[in-house]
Amino acid sequence: MDARSELGTTVQALVQAGKGILAADESGPTIAKRFKAIGVESTEANRRAYRSTIFATPGLGEHISGIIFYDETLNQRADDGTPLPQLVARQGIVPGIKVDAGKIPLALAPGDEITEGLDGLAKRLDGYRWARASPSGARCITCPTRCRRASR
């Protein structure tokens, strides 16, 4: 299948009536905050167990057409050894990946952030394709503080 046909097939799978896309792309620091709030240590094993529980939910594919994964998740496996992207694909869910590399402080703009990740993007995309994940999300944070203040 050529790239155009593959993209069309992926889009059609994602936009099914009555289904949504699950954003399960919490970064390490974000998921650590959520776990801390419920008294769970943010270890790789706990993050894997949490994600596996969600992704193995019977009937999930009846309601979810795509899941945006965090980079760590692509290499994780369910308890039975099934790679998590394959686990969701079995339910007809398109595994996707957030392709940006997170937020960093914007130089010379205290309090502002910018999205990181254009450097090395082509190499990451090749790896994601190997893992059978579709690039599905990239943030672009560029609104400086003065812009936010002006919009209030």
Q: Is the pLDDT of residue 5 over 70?
A: yes
Inter-residue contact 69 to 83 (CB < 8 Å): no
Pick 64 or 128 by higher pLDDT.
64
Mean pLDDT of 68-91: 90
Q: Is the pLDDT of residue 52 over 90?
A: yes
Instruction: Give me the torsion for CA of 52, 56, 61, 64, rounded to 10°.
Output: -30
Going by C-alpha positions, the residue among 142, 72, 152 that lies closest to residue 114 is 142
